Homo-oligomer: A and B are copies of this chain.
Amino acid sequence: MTHSANRIKDVFFLPGAKLNKTFSREEEFMAWFESRRRANYFSVEQIPLDSFENWYFEKKTQNLVHTSGKFFKISGIRVKTNFGPVKKWDQPIIIQPEIGILGVITKKVAGVRYFLMQVKMEPGNVNIVQLSPTVQATKSNYTQVHKGKLPAYLAYFLDRRNSRFLVDLLQTEQGGRFLKKRNRNMIVEIDQDIDLLDDFCWLSSWQIRKLLTLNNFVNMDARSVLSCAPFADGNPRQHYEFLRHPEREKIFPYRLDDDFLNDLLVSMTEETRAHNSMDRIISWFTELKTKYELQVKEIPLKNVSQWMRTETEIRHVSKDFFSVIAVLVNAGSREVTRWTQPLLKSSSYGLIGFVTKPIKGVLHFLIQAKVEPGNFDVVEMAPTVSCSNVERRFKEPDAPPFLNIFENAAPEQIKYSVIQSEEGGRFFHFQNKCMVVKIDESTDLEIPQNYIWMTLGQMMELVKRSYFNIEARSLLTCIGLF
């Protein structure tokens, strides 16, 4: 080993760290994380829809609303579009017309960048608590609608005097479940020491990369914010050196092999070798925004056709898609210690995946321009495939394009495959298999008009311009691009 001088015995070992609450060994972090899970005792149980407290079905519309008139509501939409095989449908949707804050505080110590992360319970989480951003605040939160405490550390995001802004971008949420919902994704840097509350700790970017190889560990909001992080402090070379580290397989244990890491690096830095110029990509996207039509009309939940309400759920007559359920939560760590709320439930897995392929030696990602009914602006840039209920879709004759590539991928083609879940404050056990597959340069694919090849460098730039949907951003974070 020629790199022995700066060998890393364990990615969790970080020389020079002088922060409260850092971890030099993975076991140590995991033990602490488990202790926080136990300390955050709470129970979640599904209850009948008529047992809501502070939520009710509005008489005229049967929309599901909070007694304060704030937070979110569940209403219906009637959709017409010329995109995709289904042109018309009704569905329930979450409406929350306000911009929340997803924020992470960062600090550099001895050349290593740390992020202040939170162990946070959400009622819909599969495993109770997940690693979350420093702050997840709805406007209701920080304008004190529910009369609870102001979320911790929020002041660093609202007031610029004690922090530097590295990232401050509006990014969209799930267009299939939320109506035009966006959050403000923020990363602020501090120099001063700050006191850490019990559920908070400092983790380096490499520690977080490792945790992203565990199923359902890093929550969706954290993945969304980190995708906007200034890549390796603006120095791809630094990223590169780390990727080449002889023990970096400990960092990416899951098949992010030498060759693929080199692929990612080249795809990140070799702008001039991109198959499509940025102007070409913007033009392609502009054309599709002109082509696709999307009419979305809000309708009362009672008028949503093909959906029914039972004692315990609002669901599609076919039992496909998601359902709306009620849960009762008893918890210690939240602003209020007992509450009921609706959640969107899914009992089957989805699939979110990038197909990648070298083009003239440079790895490219196949990106879809996708219309979803709640999209803020009709079309967003999405992964090659994102679909729910994937086990059933595999078998369908009109399965989404390229789904078969994931189904038939040989083990050596699968570069990333981890289960990640949707945000547990709105979604109950909503899990997606997140995959990145690499196919041979010689594989000829027929590319429909609404797909295009991009390099990783181009995608990083487009994330900064808020072109990518949350599924694509999450997947970029998963493969370590922050």
Contact = CB atoms under 8 A, between A and B. Distances in A.
Interface in A96-130: 99, 101
A189 to B, nearest CB: 11
Contact of A279 (B165, B290, B377, B465): B165
Given A184-B290, A286-B184, A290-B184, A279 B166 contact: yes
A233 B332 CA distance: 62
A169 B99 contact: no
Interface in A152-176: 165-170
Interface in A365-416: 376-377
Contact of A170 (B165, B289, B465): B289
A25 interface: no
Contacts of A279: 165-168
A438 to B, nearest CB: 29
B184 A282 contact: no
A473 to B, nearest CB: 16
B282 A169 contact: yes
A266 B170 CA distance: 31
A283 B168 contact: yes
A290 B165 contact: no
A280 interface: yes
A287 interface: yes
Contacts of A167: 279
Nearest to A99: B290
Nearest to A284: B168
A184 B280 CA distance: 15
A67 to B, nearest CB: 22
Interface in A267-291: 279-280, 282-283, 286-287, 289-290
Given A165-B283, A168-B283, A283-B168, A289 B465 contact: no
B465 A286 contact: no
Most B-side CB within 10 Å, residue of A167, A169, A290? A290
A283 B184 CA distance: 10
Given A165-B283, A279-B165, A280-B165, A99 B289 contact: yes
24 contacts: A99-B289, A99-B290, A101-B290, A165-B279, A165-B280, A165-B283, A166-B279, A167-B279, A168-B279, A168-B282, A168-B283, A168-B286, A168-B287, A169-B282, A169-B286, A170-B286, A170-B289, A170-B290, A184-B286, A184-B287, A184-B290, A376-B377, A377-B377, A465-B465
Top-4 shortest CB links A-B = A168-B283, A99-B290, A168-B286, A165-B283
Given A168-B282, A169-B286, 12 more contacts: A99-B289, A99-B290, A165-B279, A165-B283, A166-B279, A168-B286, A170-B286, A170-B289, A184-B286, A184-B287, A376-B377, A465-B465
